[in-house]
Copies of this chain bind each other. A is one copy, B any other.
Amino acid sequence: MAARKKQRVTLRDVAKFTDVSVMTVSNVVNGKIKLVGNATREKVERAIKTLKYVPSATSRKLRSMREFSIGMIVMDHELSFLANPFISQLVAGLSNHLSQNNFTLTVQGVAPDMFRGASLFSVAGTDALCAIMSGTNAERQKNVSFLLDRHQPVVLFQDTLNAGRSGIAIVNQDDEAGGHMIATHVLSRKAKKLLFIRPNTEWPAIEKREEGIKTAIAKKRGAKLSVLKCDEGTFQGAQAALTEYLAENAMPDAILGGTDALGIAAMRCCQDQGYVVPDDVMVTGFNGFAACNYSNPSLTTVTSPAYEMGEHAAKLILQRLETGRFSSRQTLFPVTFKEGESA
């Protein structure tokens, strides 16, 4: 009895066992049944079961020079980077569409200053990379250069860089229009003094929302905007910042949250101080995921097509891998105004 090293069962083992060539087994495994006779096929299939053969994905990747895998990197201060519903929807759309096409998705969250060190870049074999980033234009530009140096197509979400180079595609939602809609709505309800509550972090999507709000306000005589930045974009952080703000300032007519979570935090904060929403103060959010129905009153917001954006990115990438070029370099998804009870 030979010493049995614990070793992987390979195509060769199956071939030897069945007394056919390696290629025949490979063809059976890959379902290329046209290339294999019926009797041989069955024999091979039995052998595969008997020997409990499991193909090595890695070998196939190396030889075929394709990874069947996409990397998605999420730049976020928070450890629980997937808790953000925009991100989780985006990732789900991406992952699902890739799965349907026999690709996989490798996700990783990374702190802004650790971007380049992400293990995704060094250990994950990928055919293309997706990223959603915060930071200034210059910072993001540097990171994009880093991505492109990896000789892979890149898809950016919610980014304002222009896709000058042919290796990049950008998928955005129309945050500016969203900001405009939400501001226009509260203005039409006679709000004059608006407060935009947003994270302190530089974040392209938030800047766009703020721009949209400002545009709407500029058109309205007598309307005025203040902006409150929270150090942390969290629920508690927002409540702390707003409480401090209200201690020194009068209650505005409307508080516009940069995200749903910020809007709801603001709402609860006002309610705790005895204000009635929307009678004393209107409150709005941004993104329109499940949570906007959780508040009481329910949140007026703008819904994001995040899932669809993820799907779209997956389509773009698969096309790009097949044809060698992106079918479109910039995509702008419309957002939808969603009226709740809070404004």
Contact = CB atoms under 8 A, between A and B. Distances in A.
Interface of A: 8, 52, 54-59, 61-62, 65, 67-69, 79-83, 85, 88-89, 91-93, 95-96, 98-99, 101-110, 118-120, 122-125, 149-151, 235, 261, 264, 267-268, 271, 289-291, 293-296, 298, 307
Contact of A108 (B105, B261, B298): B105
A271 B293 CA distance: 13
Highest count of chain B CB atoms <10 Å: which of A69, A85, A289, A294:
A294
Contact of A62 (B58, B149, B267, B289): B58
A91 B59 CA distance: 27
A80 B89 contact: yes
Given A61-B58, A109-B92, A294-B264, A103 B83 contact: no
A104 B106 contact: yes
Given A102-B119, A108-B105, A296-B268, A80 B307 contact: yes
B235 A293 contact: yes
Highest count of chain B CB atoms <10 Å: which of A55, A105, A108, A124:
A124
A229 to B, nearest CB: 20
Contact of A271 (B91, B125, B296): B296
Contacts of A92: 79-83, 109
Given A54-B150, A68-B123, A110-B99, A293 B268 contact: yes
B108 A95 contact: yes
Given A54-B151, A110-B99, A294-B295, A307 B79 contact: yes
A52 B149 CA distance: 7
Contacts of A110: 99
A235 B290 CA distance: 8
Contact of A125 (B57, B95, B109): B57
A124 B57 contact: yes
26 contacts: A54-B149, A54-B150, A57-B125, A62-B62, A68-B123, A79-B96, A79-B307, A80-B89, A80-B93, A81-B92, A83-B290, A88-B88, A95-B107, A96-B109, A102-B119, A102-B123, A105-B106, A105-B107, A106-B107, A107-B107, A261-B294, A268-B293, A268-B298, A271-B296, A291-B294, A295-B296
A52 B145 CA distance: 12
B105 A123 contact: no
A122 B102 contact: yes
Nearest to A120: B104
B80 A88 contact: yes
Contacts of A106: 69, 104-107
B119 A108 contact: no
Contacts of A108: 95, 99, 104-105
A295 B271 CA distance: 12
